Amino acid sequence: MPVLRYVPTTIPCESTIMEDIDAGVNGAIDAVITALIKPLTPEEASPKPKQAEKPAGIIFKGSLEEVNRFFYRRGWTDGLPVIPPTDEAVAEMLTGTDLPPDHLLGKLESRLGKATVEKIAINAVMAGALPTHMPVIIAATKLLLESERGFYGYTTYGFSTGSWSPFWIINGPVRNEIFVNSGSGALSPGNIANAAIGRAMGLIIKNIGGVRKGMEDMGVMGNPMKYTMVIGENEEESPWEPLHVEYGYSKEESTITVSYPQSYVQHFPYASDSEAILRSVMDNIVRSMRYTIIFPPAHAKNLIA
């Protein structure tokens, strides 16, 4: 809607202070009335569609430092240095999938960017991912396309002022095939699969979905977990059936699941028995929120004892 009229206000987001609300409404009402009754301009009455230009294959040449500066100034990075997505690097990344480069998975919110396999590979290269990670990254992109309201909460809909972060949980044989950490320090830096897959998804959300900080992503405080938050379920030591089996998949299948936490809390149980473990969980969560609760194997086994 290129010629949509809009009127900004001075009311703080989600304000409950009536003085601020009244002042903001009174300050904007004249402009709102004017926008409603002012005759349409010729451009507004008949907007001309913009002609899409086919992007060039090579957009910049330079040193590693120059490439990173070029990408950063255009808002294509997450603030950290990226690997330049050269033709050779992207071609190597594409060896991780049998899908053709121009295969379209769908249009990704929030700005309906076309999620082709080649664009996914470009962002995977930038994130430092490996070709073996491509099947998981492609599956995660499909999940974003299908998650609808959950992903809207991350961007422009619903809880847009909250600082929600995608949290990816990987199940099945692929965990071990690509060395996803599901043990000690799984949420810490130091594992390529955990770090690069989550980072690739953040770049895909940003560069294909068009989710820009302070615009489509209106998280007030922001969230460091948006850099990457990936874990594999430790199925071998879990006393419960794996998460993907609960959702109806076979144990031999590989899956990826996403949730959208806003914060991360690590707390200690009051004791190692099941009652103390659950009591510590209850005492450390905020009511009326959604949670993904992770237990280490020893506590999980005590809970079913």
pTM for this structure? 0.85
Residues of the chain with pLDDT under 50: 157-159
C-alpha neighbours within 13 Å on the C-beta side of residue 230:
29
CA separation, residue 105 to residues 53, 87, 141, 213 (Å): 21, 21, 8, 24
Give the whole-angstrom CA distance, residue 69 versus residue 77: 10
Give the pLDDT confidence score for residue 227 in this predicted structure: 94
- The pair of structure tokens assigned to 151 is 């992903």
The reported pLDDT for the residue numbered 58 is 85
HSE toward the beta carbon, residue 95, CA cutoff 13 A: 9
pLDDT digits (tens, 9 = 90+) for 26-75: 999 999 999 999 999 988 888 887 776 777 778 899 999 999 999 999 99
Report pLDDT for 157: 43
Instruction: Indicate the burial class of 168 (C-beta count within 10 angstroms; 0-12, 13-18, 19 or more).
Output: buried
106: exposed, middle or buried (Cβ count in 10 Å: 0-12, 13-18, 19+):
middle
Quote the tokens at residue 299: 């506590």
Residue 149 contacts residue 210 (beta carbons within 8 Å): no
Our CA angle for 121, 124, 127, nearest 5°, is 155
Token pair belonging to 154? 């991350």
> What pLDDT does residue 158 have?
41
pLDDT of residue 50: 75
Residues paired with residue 170 on neighbouring β-strands, in sequence order: 232, 256
Task: Check if the beta carbon of residue 273 is closer than 8 Å to that of residue 302.
Answer: yes
